[in-house]
Amino acid sequence: MLRSTVLAATALASLLVAGCAHEGPGENARAKAATTPSQLYKLQAEDQTDQILLAVHTDGLSPAQDEAVRALADRWRDSGGRSIQIDAPQDPADSTVAYRAAQTVRQRLIAAGVPAAAIEQHAYDATGDAKAPLKVSFVHFQADVPACGQSWENLTATKNNAVQSNFGCAVTANIAAMIADPADIAAPRQVGSADAGRRVTVMQTYRKGEVTSAAADSKASGVISNAIP
Residue 205 in any domain: the answer is: no
Q: Is residue 216 part of a domain?
A: no
pLDDT at 47 over 90: no
Average pLDDT over residues 45-62: 89
Nearest to 53 by CA among 141, 112, 142, 131: 131
DSSP result, 21-53: HT-STTS-HHHHH-SSGGGSS---EEEEEEEEE
Q: 30 or 192: which carries more pLDDT confidence?
A: 192
Q: For residues 160 and 140, which has the higher predicted lDDT (pLDDT)?
A: 140
Predicted confidence (pLDDT) per residue in 105-136, tens digit: 999 999 999 999 999 999 998 888 878 999 99
Q: Is residue 71 part of a domain?
A: yes
222 pLDDT band (50/70/90 cuts)?
low
Residue of 193 and 51 predicted with greater confidence: 51
Q: Is residue 122 part of a domain?
A: yes
pLDDT of amino acid 24: 42
In a domain, 23, yes or no: no
Interval 196-223 mean pLDDT: 83
Chain mean pLDDT for the chain? 79
Q: Is residue 95 part of a domain?
A: yes
Structure confidence at residue 25 (pLDDT)? 43
Q: Is residue 153 part of a domain?
A: no
Return the higher-pLDDT residue of 135 and 165.
135
In this prediction, residue 112 carries a pLDDT of 92
Domain-embedded: residue 131: yes
Q: What is the pLDDT of residues 64-93, one digit of tens each?
A: 999 999 999 999 988 877 899 999 998 766
User: In this structure, what DSSP letter does residue 77 have?
Assistant: H
Q: Which of the pair, 48 or 228, is modelled with greater confidence? A: 48
The range of the structural domain enclosing residue 98 comes to 47-143
Number of domains in the chain: 1
> What's the CATH code of the domain at 85?
3.30.1330.60
